Chain A
Amino acid sequence: MDTDIKVALVGNPNTGKSTLFNVLTGLNQKIGNFPGVTVDKKTGVCELPDGRKAQIIDLPGTYSLYPKSRDESIVFSVLADRSNPLKPDLVVVILDASNLKRNLLLYTQVADLKVPVIIALNMMDMAQKAEITIDVNAIANKLGVPVVPISARKGEGIDKLKEAIAFANKIPLQEDTIDVDVLAPQLIATIGEELHIDNHYFALQLAHQHETLHFLTPEQSERIEELEKEFRFHSQKSQAAETIARYNFINDLLYDTVTKKETAQDQTISNRIDRVLTHKTFGFVLFLGILLFIFQSIFAWSAYPMKLIGDFFVWAQSSLHHVLPSGPLTSLLVDGVMGGLSGVMVFIPQIAILFGFISILEDTGYMSRVTFMMDRIMRKVGLNGKSVVPLIGGFACAVPSIMSTRNIENWKDRMITIMVTPLVTCSARLPVYTLLIALVVPSRNVWWIFNLQGLALTGMYLFSLVSAVTVAYVMKYILKSRERGYFIMELPVYRMPRWKNVGLTMYDRSKAFVLQAGKVIIAVSVILWVLASFGPGDQFQQIEQKYRQPQYSQHFNADELHRVIASEKLENSYAGMLGHAIEPVIRPLGFDWKIGIALITSFAAREVFVGTMATIYSVDGDAEKMESVQQKMQTAKHPDGSPVFTAAVAFSLMMFYAFAMQCASTVAVVYRETKDWRWPAAQFAYMTVLAYLASFITYHLLR
């Protein structure tokens, strides 16, 4: 996109940085990746009052330039690396006016890098409420930078900020904050000389961060390491000294510019809410209640839009069949591609609703309280309070949930979370479970209100949580880690959710899901279509010839004949051959070759199961004929006349789906997040073994 200047937004977490980003850019947003690392890069375009366009880059929230997580490490690289194409012409540092002291630490670090900078002083309304008075002009004068008071939530001061961006200087004019040189005089001088770096603070940062910076050559990094040894540089001691020096500077700055009325802070609204929400018993009851409400809503609210999407695809497929000439190409497009597409699109309502809720919980500040309450339990099983969010997200889809583990700083905790998240019952398992439960569990009420089928489904959900926690507990002893786990986290004050942010999150996440999962599912649908539509040699022709004989065409009507032929073709197709090939392996689980085909295709994506079943039991391959898939499966018989789908088989199948890693998108995202193929491989292996064992035991217990 053609833009005139690049502007980066930098600030602490919970300062309203993303709200400001949304206000500045509206819907002109793009999510991409920073080159070389998997950190979401949010950029957008903002029109300035002088007619120019600014590209706004939203950098991850951080407390300092010394990174604590992978997301945070990007901030320094973008700000300091001169060769980085994203290097901003101007940095807007967002400060929370109600907590200036801590917020200014990051400002002083950014300022010392000598990039052009302006300050957006956010949450002025909150500061006024807390009876904090800030002399904005005095701060601006002392720091030598423009300071613009804003309220991003209310949209106040945004025009002024845009003006400040438009008229900002191209050269850094800010005052120095601390004397950087005293921290490591010789080291800074030598690095500056050898690597041709004028900025002393940049040189010091290189000494701290050279191991993780991508823009340094290995030789440069090694040289810095040597110099550190030569000058006896101790990174943490230097960081501690620097931080104390910076706070001294900040205290001096704030001494006569900010006054705060000493009021009894204990009775703030946030504190009173916390008394209830993190109460010893109430806290957990409420959390459970909220979870129940979310799941109820996901199912209840998504039913109608899902039906609409399903209907739309049925309509589109049948009209395309009418319009296009019949032939293999049309069949590929309509049955293969469109069929696969509908399988993805139908999940959009569930994903959107779940992420709507998650973003409300995060936005209000409740999610960090959940983390706070659950940390003790989660730590016992080798996880971290912060693992709660991905695990809950796992109920919708493991793909975005695994992406959300990035804010878990501890490597081991993060890996265990990634490894167990796919065990949680995701929305793709839902159609499989509902179909199988409807087959074998009677729809009857027990104790008046509990439907037996609903109970079975709830049971599968709870079971998935138990298995995730158990596996995590085992992995705690397998994985070795040198790193120490820690849990120092801000508990932000409670706020009303920002509905625009919620809406944008729902939109972003659904889009990411469609793009991520969509590609795979369409590819698989096409492969499945090919495998199911073609067979070796001239077997297909023989089948057609066989049914052209009078004894068949007289007994069956055209529709029935069509189905019988399709069914026999499937058995003789490549897919059918595969199913027969694995039958000996899955026979102990109670599955026949038809289920075998469904299992194989499901390794791409679980929801393919229903579609495959529909094809195999020769119903028109769309999910809208659920009733008839169910009926067909109900009446399906083994050659000896016994029914195929007994309770034992159905539950055995459900167990298989509960454990098996049947999702190509998840495998891909685990690789992307761990950058090591051994993680997804280990995950795939352990999950498949568990699936086989659980399925085997279930089948033999119930048989």
Chain B
Amino acid sequence: MRLSQLEVGQSGIVKEFTDLEMSVKLMEMGCLPGEEVRVSRIAPLGDPIAIQVSGYQLSLRKREASTIILQ
């Protein structure tokens, strides 16, 4: 299951990343393995999405969200 496949309101636990470069950035922003992520909204045009992670809201594009694999 990838983060990009979640609907609004659904959540999951980060397991791993498929893209090393992206993972470094995401982890620095607090989105790291073991952390719970929840999709809080999707932009009006369907992309990007906003997720709730480690106590704050992060926005990222669907393509970027698809590099995050959930447990």
Contact = CB atoms under 8 A, between A and B. Distances in A.
A63 B29 contact: yes
Interface of chain B, helix or strand or loop or mixed? mixed
A268 to B, nearest CB: 10
Contacts of A304: none
B1 to A, nearest CB: 20
A107 to B, nearest CB: 13
A236 B21 contact: yes
For B28, B29, B44, the residue with the greatest tally of chain A CB atoms inside 10 Å of its CB is B28
Contact of B43 (A239, A375, A484): A375
Given A101-B54, A236-B21, A372-B48, A488 B41 contact: no
Contacts, number: 111
A284 B44 contact: yes
A491 B55 CA distance: 11
A274 B41 contact: yes
Given A239-B24, A243-B27, A487 B46 contact: no
A278 B56 contact: no
Interface string B41-54: 10111111010101
B69 interface: no
B44 A280 contact: yes
A653 B45 CA distance: 38
Interface string A260-284: 0000011000110011001111011
Nearest to A409: B25
A316 interface: no
A491 B58 contact: yes
A183 to B, nearest CB: 13
B57 to A, nearest CB: 4
B57 A491 contact: yes
A244 B47 CA distance: 29
Contacts of A278: 41, 43-44
B32 interface: yes
Contacts of A99: 30, 54-56
A658 to B, nearest CB: 29
B58 A279 contact: no
A293 interface: no
Contact of A489 (B20, B28, B46, B60): B60
A66 interface: yes
Contacts of B20: 236-237, 240
A687 B60 CA distance: 34
Interface string B18-43: 00111111111110110000001101
Nearest to A281: B44
Nearest to A247: B32
B29 A66 contact: no
Given A66-B24, A490-B29, A373 B45 contact: yes
A307 interface: no
A493 B28 CA distance: 19
B59 interface: yes
30 contacts: A63-B29, A66-B24, A68-B25, A98-B55, A99-B56, A101-B54, A102-B29, A105-B28, A237-B20, A240-B27, A244-B32, A244-B33, A247-B32, A271-B40, A368-B59, A371-B59, A372-B43, A373-B44, A375-B48, A376-B47, A376-B48, A385-B48, A486-B60, A488-B25, A488-B26, A488-B29, A489-B58, A490-B56, A490-B57, A491-B59
Interface of A: 63-64, 66, 68, 98-99, 101-102, 105, 236-237, 239-240, 243-244, 247, 265-266, 270-271, 274-275, 278-281, 283-284, 368, 371-373, 375-377, 385, 484, 486-493
Q: What are the 9 closest A-B residue pairs judged by CB atoms, nearest first? A: A102-B30, A376-B45, A491-B57, A243-B27, A280-B44, A64-B28, A99-B55, A239-B24, A488-B60
Interface of B: 20-30, 32-33, 40-41, 43-48, 50, 52, 54-61, 64
